[in-house]
Structure 1
């Protein structure tokens, strides 16, 4: 072998030697937990293939088969990208889910493919869990800390998995164990995430990379369970201090003394996912009440505390019988790793924006949107409310005569509209990235139960409460003479008057909501079939508006949880 190697010319020897060393390194890396080289080769190989595919095959034209060819291209590329997310696992799944929440501006193939990411988090064997535990607790085995510890996890996500255990005092707890490769992979994965956003930006000519710093910061925070424990305490404190939510919303306590950066031990709470209609009914739990409380809980975070849960999917919102009040329910919120803290300026402006939307105060709405770098306030209003918005007339509800060629021509022009929509990216409040995510997930949860709650009205009232919080904090005038009692009285009278006017503006929507519910129940009673819920009606109106006014075609599954 050595003589054969020696007979080769120097360039050939260099190439052969490099190939052997590379294959050896690749083989070793493939057997490691983090698999950094293998994962990055997969990422960049597919990234190059994606770019070449688009470069060679994306040729817009008016030919009859142009639309179908472009759709096939989107399908191939979407499958390639999301296959990388699934195979790489870890933070790639989390990053893919972030992109999935923004997929409305991407072709339909991406919207369909992104949905599968939510079931792509395999569990780790107990030997790995045991090693993480020993490393974080000075060699202690789980059996030395807990009297019982279930080896099989009850849940597995992109960053961690959860095991049920029992303390020596008899209390049942949930033990969240971080997957050890996450911290090793994080810097490489986030670098790839930045590159991916830039690739998307170039391919689709859309503003995407401006959000990378903010998203990266919060993804890093989600891997720190000490930070999650602090978030849990802060969320728990807010609900305890909010009179209308105290005891209706519960946050399980954290056992700080037996938690670490990669192991989080919290109180175990038995509950049913908020969207599991069959189990809720089987336990005689009031699903309407549960959803109403859920929407109030997250609305209070957005408009009152400014400390907002970034991932309120059904697995993180549980319902149980109220431990103190007979025939009532209690909503339990878990998994507090992803939170954002709104600035006070943003919180107040967002409250004022919602008030302006319902009072049709276009001057205020346009002023706030302009200060956020948003040029098209009507489009932003529709996105915010997740329903069509028009300052002077209702959006046309009929099905427009739009064929596939019309749709394609609209998609070609939509990029410029989106770029104009967000003119100054530096001014755009980063809080809206996760606030919008929160609202979309909560809306999907409400829809999954048949839209039992008028979500928009509930949120609008909490926006008004958020403004009243500002008034309650200003007890003295600028010269410090007027008494706090007088100031509070004036604030109370003004808030009461504004609430009365505000409620009047919500009346039409409330009537619409109850008419839809009456129609649904009548159809159920007379024909034994379910009709569209209120959220579905709003979804259809919004999809029609986006298609007709902005050229964005939304896949049906995008509106599902």
Structure 2
């Protein structure tokens, strides 16, 4: 029996099972599952019958993106979070899906105080208001897809706190909703030829982690210990204090932070903040997380970053970066930390052989054409130009077919692919977007590569024993420092050129792009060369809350 027929039986059986167990499941779960599975069944049939060169494939994507979006909005709860996860995987989907699912980040309805009060009573005890808080605000300060935050004051010490309360519908519906999400990704894996089922399993596990606030508390304690023990960041970067004795898997209580969220961008300068210092702190602490600590905050969007002025002990104040929301983290193995550091170092040094070795260990088969597309080869080669022209001249359907073929070739062995890359690549682009929106005040690439090189040297170091060893060390250092000098000069030249053109000459017709804008243009071109219609911009990625 073919995959499609099995899927029809699977989905049809799921609809009947959900209907049959309505009274057992309760909480509207069966109705949600019926709506979900019937929608997925309709999408499957539509693609099976109409995904060919004789039909309007763009229109096919458009109507099924609409169906999936309406399903997510109709079911609410965990579906909003899962819809956001689909948006995060956006580059794997056609433009029609990307455009539709960008709207997910505005969908975060609040739960009533009566519902929140019920959760707090179950988690903290019936007398929580009298025993724990001297006051707690009933109107939420913020509401996201899985939780909302209220402000309170602790009775024990008068400390203002943020009370994060998990939404009741989320915990009740998580099993059924994640099941449906995985079913949807299996269908889209068949349609688009991407390894979406494997990604869906990984995303489901990460979502379960995010729903456990004890896990978030553990992440916060880990990163706080690392920051406090590092002289470069102590006092400059701060992780709020949490209260494990009055926190549970569904309620998290932490220190309230007064400050300015960095989403205000250039307005921060008017408030007296040093923008370059702020961005430098963000990039450096992130690069330390990725390449040295291996404990990585994967959701550094503007709402999770606060800047404030704090006393320095000498009657003065200094600027401090505060990092919030520690639910979505990646913890790297030593093996992956070493490989990812090597990937960055050798990519910047244009050592294609070593880059391919790392990618091969991740199950990625990258030929010279793909390397050129990713900026690691020669984008001006005749082969690359010919490839871009061929893709430009193709029909919409042919581009979709080519994309399937490219991804199958690219992910030669998906079992070896480190799924943590999906979240780390997104967080890397968030940091890129922040730097760009602040006007690119920092040499981001130089900072990242310096940290990657430090880790590579740490793992690779063996005491030299003869002249040959000393020569190799000299050659490696020469290559690295030459690359860093080139990166520095490129950054400074671009900064000066942009200032003269945009601020001195006030040119409007020939505005000079900064390096982050150029990097983004290169990424878009790389995606197009592989058949992707649209690579989400850093602005779109930064909208994730």
Asked if 1 retains the 8 angstrom alpha-carbon contact of 2:371 and 2:377, the reply is: no
Aligned runs of 1:106-121 on 2, under 5 Å?
Answer: 106-121=93-108
For 1:206-229, what per-residue CA distance to the aligned partner results, in whole angstroms no more than 9, with x for missing partners? 221122332222211111111111
Give 1:557 shift: 4.8
Q: 1:410 aligns with which of 382, 386, 399?
A: 399
Q: 1:551 aligns with which of 525, 531, 543?
A: 531
Query: Is residue 2:42 matched to residue 1:49?
Result: yes
Could you list the structure 1 runs, at least 4 aligned residues long, displaced by more than 6 angstroms after superposition: 21-24, 379-382, 395-402, 491-497
Q: 2:169 aligns with which of 181, 199, 211?
A: 181
Aligned runs of 1:424-503 on 2, under 5 Å?
Answer: 424-470=413-459, 501-503=479-481
Give 1:146 shift: 1.0
Aligned runs of 1:153-552 on 2, under 5 Å?
Answer: 153-168=140-155, 169-324=157-312, 328-376=318-366, 388-392=374-378, 405-406=394-395, 408-470=397-459, 501-521=479-499, 522-527=501-506, 532-547=513-528, 549-552=529-532
For 1:83-119, what per-residue CA distance to the aligned partner results, in whole angstroms no more than 9, with x for missing partners? 2223322322222222212221321111111211111
Give 1:372 shift: 1.3
Give 1:559 shift: 5.2
Give 1:180 shift: 1.6
In 1, Cα distance between equivalents of 2:495 and 2:335: 38
Distance 1:22 1:52, change over 3 A: closer
In 2, Cα distance between equivalents of 1:235 and 1:273: 20
In 2, Cα distance between equivalents of 1:426 and 1:184: 32
Q: Bigger shift: 514-523 or 102-111?
A: 514-523
Q: Bigger shift: 508-517 or 452-461?
A: 508-517
In 2, Cα distance between equivalents of 1:71 and 1:181: 35
In 1, Cα distance between equivalents of 2:242 and 2:175: 28
Asked if 2 retains the 8 angstrom alpha-carbon contact of 1:373 and 1:424, the reply is: yes
Asked if 2 retains the 8 angstrom alpha-carbon contact of 1:103 and 1:110, the reply is: yes
In 2, Cα distance between equivalents of 1:499 and 1:154: 51
In 1, Cα distance between equivalents of 2:142 and 2:266: 21
Give 1:394 shift: 5.7
Aligned runs of 1:64-83 on 2, under 5 Å?
Answer: 69-83=56-70
In 1, Cα distance between equivalents of 2:235 and 2:381: 41
Distance 1:211 1:175, change over 3 A: same
Distance 1:194 1:236, change over 3 A: same
Give 1:134 shift: 0.4
Asked if 1 retains the 8 angstrom alpha-carbon contact of 2:139 and 2:150, the reply is: yes
Give 1:249 shift: 1.3
Asked if 2 retains the 8 angstrom alpha-carbon contact of 1:201 and 1:209, the reply is: yes
In 2, Cα distance between equivalents of 1:100 and 1:495: 44
Residue 136 of structure 1: aligned partner? 123
Q: How many residues in Structure 1 have an aligned counterpart in Structure 2? A: 513
Asked if 1 retains the 8 angstrom alpha-carbon contact of 2:237 and 2:281, the reply is: yes
Residue 10 of structure 1: aligned partner? none
For 1:340-375, what per-residue CA distance to the aligned partner results, in whole angstroms no more than 9, with x for missing partners? 211111111111121111222222212111111110
Give 1:158 shift: 1.1
For 1:510-540, what per-residue CA distance to the aligned partner results, in whole angstroms no more than 9, with x for missing partners? 3333333333323134327575332222111
In 1, Cα distance between equivalents of 2:137 and 2:249: 21
Asked if 2 retains the 8 angstrom alpha-carbon contact of 1:111 and 1:557, the reply is: no
Distance 1:497 1:229, change over 3 A: farther
Give 1:126 shift: 0.6
Residue 5 of structure 1: aligned partner? none
Structure 1 spans left out of the alignment, 5+ residues: 1-18, 478-485
Asked if 1 retains the 8 angstrom alpha-carbon contact of 2:284 and 2:447, the reply is: yes
Structure 2 spans left out of the alignment, 5+ residues: 1-15
Residue 91 of structure 1: aligned partner? 78
In 2, Cα distance between equivalents of 1:351 and 1:515: 27
In 2, Cα distance between equivalents of 1:23 and 1:357: 55
Residue 4 of structure 1: aligned partner? none
Residue 9 of structure 1: aligned partner? none
Distance 1:218 1:203, change over 3 A: same
Question: Matched residue of 2:216: which SS?
Answer: helix
Q: CA RMSD in A?
A: 3.3
Give 1:148 shift: 1.6
Asked if 1 retains the 8 angstrom alpha-carbon contact of 2:214 and 2:249, the reply is: yes
